[in-house]
Chain A
Amino acid sequence: MTEPEALARADEIGAESVRLELESIDAFVHAHYPRLIRLASLITRDGEQAQDAVQGALERAWRKRGDVREPAKLRPWLDRIVAREAIRQVRGSGFAQFARRESEDWIPYAPATSEPTEGLILREALGRLSTKHRAVVALHLYAGYSVEETARVLSVPFDTVRSRLRAAREQLRRELGEKC
């Protein structure tokens, strides 16, 4: 099998897989829920909000599954719905509630030593990022989307993603430097 034939075969297998995923709710959820709950949890930083965001997004996506023309676009399409739903959940929850949940959720244990480790410092610093910055960080650094793909998922300009990434890194680096 030549390389073009192998790529074509891979496309066929991928398309068949997507077709099967879209045939039943059970297959659809099993194929995408594990990834989506992880992604949502990094944007909302709250388990309950992440759960609500993913379930709402999966239902919306299932109702609109007939719109999926290209199997390769199913995953970014779902990630986009989940990311937006997660941001909406955070905005809808109110800042006070969000801040309280973040502090409780993101630092689940007290430091074992009096000296802060980089993990604890960075964990706290990540918790203080805005939702928009955290969404960019999660999609680009965790989900593996390129800057351009992240921009498409979030429906924002390429330069906006790039500047948010830079700002997030600077903030995290600054906090690490200040506390070490």
Chain B
Amino acid sequence: MTQRIQPTITDERLDGLILQLLTERAESVAASSLPAETVADRMATRLRPSPYGRTWIVLAAALLLVAMLIGGAIASGAIRPPWIPTPAPIERSWTGPVRTDSAAFPVIAMEPVVEDRYMWTDGPDGSAPLVDIDLVETGGGRRLQWNLSLGDVPSTESSPNGDERITEYGLVLDDDGDGVANCHIGINDDTPVPGDYRVWVTNLETGVTQEQVGGPYGIPIDFAHPGEFRPGDYPPGTAPQMRFFFLGSAAPCDLGLEPVRFYAYATVKEQGRVVSWDYAPDAAWLGRRAE
């Protein structure tokens, strides 16, 4: 194609030249392109159906999803895989004021309210309102004190001497952080005189107990018992509280101003047998820092 172009080229001639060039070009590209056999083989490979079929693929995807969910649950601690031994179950029934399984308890960090004052909300979970500890507060500073907010006020009729019904509130403390309780504080209405209280502090390491039955109170520990108040004595919306506070020394326990861990409890005994109770927390220590 070396002829000179005429300025007035017709459509027919132009189309002829274009077709000639396009054909040359197409044949050139076709000659250097992949052979049809190769293209067919590639297509057959790519389009070959899976030997497992759609059902198996869907099943495999479902199994993968389940595995991911189980893995996530194990990682989050929601479930325990069978190859990890399950620790002995923590006893959630009443096992006495000083629990034998407390060494395995975790420590729940209480929420700071103001300086040197912390709180933890348990919610209504006691077996009876009278012993339901909904809120626990503690504070240090100049004196150690604990407030237990309750679901109901103990009836004065439930505390005469000779009555088979005894209501008790208490605290168990671990002052050295080893998970083993070393101090027990308690108060109940198991007294000869109706309206009196028996209050005590026991050093669990030495076994020494100091108690006061009936007034004057204050030693070994002072308190404000909900049975001392009528329901109308509390401001509206305020729960009745069981308060413990040391006036000075914490003898016979050797407590600093910030006991490391503690839990609270409440019970009602009938005929010498605990019929209602609540631990707060159910199976943990309360502290100022989680552990």
**Complex formed: what's the CA distance from A50 to B33 in Å?**
9
Q: Does B34 contact A (CB under 8 A)?
A: yes
Interface on chain B toward A: helix, strand, loop, or mixed SS?
A: helix
Q: Does B59 contact A (CB under 8 A)?
A: no
Q: Does B93 contact A (CB under 8 A)?
A: no
Q: Does B232 contact A (CB under 8 A)?
A: no
In the complex the two chains form, is B14's CB within 8 Å of A29's CB?
Answer: no
In the complex the two chains form, is A50's CB within 8 Å of B29's CB?
Answer: yes
Q: Does A83 contact B (CB under 8 A)?
A: no
The listed residue (B14, B19, B42, B44) touching A169 by CB distance below 8 A is: B14
Instruction: Kindly list chain A residues whose C-beta atoms are within 8 Å of the C-beta of B15.
Output: 141, 169
Q: Does B78 contact A (CB under 8 A)?
A: no
Instruction: Kindly list chain A residues whose C-beta atoms are within 8 Å of the C-beta of B36.
Output: 29-30, 33-34
Least distance between B42 CB and chain A CB atoms (Å): 7
* Pair count A-B, CB < 8 A: 106
Q: Does B30 contact A (CB under 8 A)?
A: yes
CB contact under 8 A between A55 and B39, given known A34-B30, A42-B26: yes
**Complex formed: what's the CA distance from A54 to B32 in Å?**
14
In the complex the two chains form, is B22's CB within 8 Å of A172's CB?
Answer: no
Least distance between B14 CB and chain A CB atoms (Å): 6
Size category of the A interface is 35 or more
In the complex the two chains form, is A141's CB within 8 Å of B22's CB?
Answer: yes
**Complex formed: what's the CA distance from A169 to B6 in Å?**
15
Instruction: Kindly list chain A residues whose C-beta atoms are within 8 Å of the C-beta of B290.
Output: none
Instruction: Kindly list chain B residues whose C-beta atoms are within 8 Å of the C-beta of A39.
Output: 26
Instruction: Kindly list chain A residues whose C-beta atoms are within 8 Å of the C-beta of B43.
Output: 25, 29, 55, 58-59, 62
Least distance between A178 CB and chain B CB atoms (Å): 10
In the complex the two chains form, is B40's CB within 8 Å of A142's CB?
Answer: no
In the complex the two chains form, is B5's CB within 8 Å of A118's CB?
Answer: yes
Size category of the B interface is 20 to 34
Which A18-40 residues have a C-beta within 8 angstroms of B?
A: 25-26, 28-30, 33-34, 37-39
In the complex the two chains form, is B19's CB within 8 Å of A142's CB?
Answer: yes
CB contact under 8 A between A37 and B21, given known A29-B43, A30-B36, A59-B43: no
In the complex the two chains form, is B33's CB within 8 Å of A173's CB?
Answer: no
Q: Does B46 contact A (CB under 8 A)?
A: yes
Instruction: Kindly list chain A residues whose C-beta atoms are within 8 Å of the C-beta of B34.
Output: 51
Least distance between A125 CB and chain B CB atoms (Å): 10
Mask for A38-73, Cβ within 8 A of B = 1, else 0?
Answer: 110110010100110011001100110000000000
In the complex the two chains form, is A119's CB within 8 Å of B9's CB?
Answer: no
Q: Does A137 contact B (CB under 8 A)?
A: yes
The listed residue (A41, A63, A121, A177) touching B30 by CB distance below 8 A is: A41
Instruction: Kindly list chain B residues whose C-beta atoms are within 8 Å of the C-beta of A74.
Output: none
Least distance between A59 CB and chain B CB atoms (Å): 6
In the complex the two chains form, is A180's CB within 8 Å of B29's CB?
Answer: no
In the complex the two chains form, is A37's CB within 8 Å of B4's CB?
Answer: no
In the complex the two chains form, is A41's CB within 8 Å of B44's CB?
Answer: no
In the complex the two chains form, is A30's CB within 8 Å of B33's CB?
Answer: no
Instruction: Kindly list chain B residues whose C-beta atoms are within 8 Å of the C-beta of A173.
Output: 9, 14
The listed residue (B3, B4, B17, B33) touching A51 by CB distance below 8 A is: B33
In the complex the two chains form, is A142's CB within 8 Å of B22's CB?
Answer: yes
Q: Does A117 contact B (CB under 8 A)?
A: yes
Q: Does B1 contact A (CB under 8 A)?
A: yes
Q: Does B25 contact A (CB under 8 A)?
A: yes
Residues of A within 8 A of B (CB): 25-26, 28-30, 33-34, 37-39, 41-42, 45, 47, 50-51, 54-55, 58-59, 62-63, 106, 113, 117-119, 121-123, 126, 137-138, 141-142, 169, 172-173, 176-177, 180
A-B contact pairs, 10 of them (CB 8 A): A38-B27, A54-B39, A106-B25, A118-B5, A122-B18, A141-B19, A169-B11, A176-B5, A176-B9, A180-B5
Shortest beta-carbon contacts, A-B, top 3? A119-B1, A41-B29, A38-B26
Excluding A45-B25, A51-B33, A59-B46, 20 further A-B contacts by CB distance (< 8 Å) are A30-B36, A33-B36, A37-B29, A37-B30, A38-B30, A47-B32, A55-B39, A55-B43, A119-B2, A123-B21, A126-B18, A126-B22, A141-B22, A142-B19, A142-B22, A176-B5, A176-B9, A177-B5, A177-B7, A180-B5
